[in-house]
Amino acid sequence: MEYDKFGPEKIIQVYDPETGMRGITVIHNTNLGPGKGGIRMTPSVDVEEVYKLAETMTWKNALAGIPFGGAKSGIIANDKALTQEQKDSIVAAFGKAIKNIAPSEYIAGPDMNMAEHEMKVLVEANGENNSATGKPKDMGGLPHELGSTGFGVYHALLTALEFTDLKNPTVAIEGFGNVGTFVMEFLEKKGIKVVAVSDSKGTIFNEEGLDYKELMKVKEESGSVINYGDGKKLDSKEIVSLDVDILVPAAIPDLINENNKNSIKAKLIVCGSNIAMSEEIEEEFHEKEILIIPDFVANAGGVISSYIETINGTSEEMFMLVEKNITENTNEVLEKSKENKISPRKAAMEIAVKRVEEGKNEII
């Protein structure tokens, strides 16, 4: 773990003998506001992992243009080995244990094995409605099912297109879940052709374009996009090497790696998923003039939605702010990248660091 001028400000470890709950919260930096970041529940989560995630949230929230610092939590437990009742009692114990910091210094949210139901349990035990976001609608929550992340990725893609000479581009989307489905829906409405989509079972590819409604129906009825009637069925891994203009990774980490990086034909990659490739590969692509929109620029729709939830805003306000902030930030990052001849990730980090140093993010 590295300590520097930005943090970490607090590392908190909590334990409840009654439930056996063991939890960690790292508040990395609060220059812009209370630390914001999700809680994951895994058997292996440790201080180092939580610290790295908390630091990432500092830069992500700064770049998203919202008044949140960076933080993250982990509960050390094997959720597969717990009954719902046991899990609820552990989550409630954690909610009580962080009472003195949440929501004044830390605002939680869903992450691995922690969803809307767990946020409800945590908030009820904590006693403060704003101690977490991602709550059920009847508690003032803005469900991620509204598509905030996918909507943001879509706007990052539209903005990035203006920095390329691509005309009538073709798009491939890796992952047809909570991010990929919405990206495709918005692209189709805009008249941009999606020619390939993948999920864990395989890839479906049709040069003429795929139909969003039909894909959704097939996925719902059969469990996979691979059963879409009209198109070539390929392996999941083949999505990255298709001859398309734009690739949108929207599911697994390290999708683009040492083994497949040289097979990429896309000229623009918009990272909907976290860590779709290493920073080293991003730099290599920059040298090759492949334009990359980094994850924490493109997929910040979720954290912007969290901010709107904390001020009791509406879904309309959320969509407006996601469009505004992601369009402006993508534009600022790509202008700086072009001007200073540095990769978009380096440009984005410089902007985020400057905002944290100045300690201000003005909304609207």
CATH number of the domain bearing residue 26:
3.40.50.10860
Does 128 share its domain with 165?
A: no
pTM of the model: 0.92
Question: Domain check: are 207 and 273 in the same one?
Answer: yes
Domain boundary among 90, 115, 137: 137
Residues 341 and 199 in one domain: yes
The domain boundary, picked from 108, 137, 166, lies at: 137
pLDDT at 102: 98
Phi, psi of 161, deg, nearest 5: -55, -35
- Which residues are registered as beta bridge partners of 299? none
Residue ending a domain, choose from 88, 103, 137: 137
User: Do both 119 and 51 map to the same domain?
Assistant: yes
Q: How far is 154 from 292, CA to CA, in rounded Å?
A: 14
For residue 29, the SS3 value is strand
Is residue 103 domain-shared with residue 66, that is, in the same domain?
A: yes
Give the CATH number of the domain where residue 163 resides: 3.40.50.720
Query: Is 18 inside a domain boundary?
Result: yes
Same domain, 14 and 36: yes
Are the C-beta atoms of 285 and 297 separated by less than 8 Å?
A: no
Q: Contact 197/224 with Cβ under 8 angstroms?
A: no
Strands (E) in 221-363, as ranges, are 232-234, 246-249, 268-270, 291-293
pLDDT of residue 141: 94
Q: Is residue 317 part of a domain?
A: no
**Total of domains in the chain:** 2
Long-range interactions of 315-318: CB distance < 8 A, separation 24+? 315/142, 315/146, 318/142, 318/146, 318/148
d(CA 53, CA 42): 14
Q: Is residue 3 part of a domain?
A: no
Q: Is residue 52 situated within a structural domain?
A: yes
102 and 152 in a single domain? The answer is no
Q: Are residues 193 and 341 in the same domain?
A: yes
* Rounded mean pLDDT for each run of 10 residues along the chain, 364 residues in total: 95 98 99 97 96 94 97 97 98 99 97 94 98 95 87 99 97 96 98 98 98 98 95 97 98 95 98 94 98 96 96 96 98 98 98 93 62
pLDDT of the residue at 77: 98
| Residue 217 covered by a domain | yes
Residues 280, 153, single domain; the answer is yes
Tell me the two tokens of residue 79: 């959720």
- Residue among 55, 52, 49, 48 nearest 28 (CA): 55
CB–CB of 37/71 below 8 Å?
yes
* Structural domain that includes position 185: 148-300+335-345
Judgement on whether residues 245 and 295 belong to the same structural domain of the protein: yes
Position 362 in a domain: no
Same domain, 267 and 295: yes
Which residues are marked as active site? Answer: 72
Asked if 89 and 155 sit in the same domain, the reply is no
Does a structural domain hold residue 122? yes
* pLDDT reported for residue 362: 67
Cis peptide before 8 (omega within 30 of 0): yes
pLDDT at 341: 97
User: CA neighbours within 13 Å on the CB side: how many for 271?
Assistant: 25
Residue 177 located in a structural domain: yes
Grouping H, G, I as helix, E, B as strand and the rest as coil, residue 207 is coil
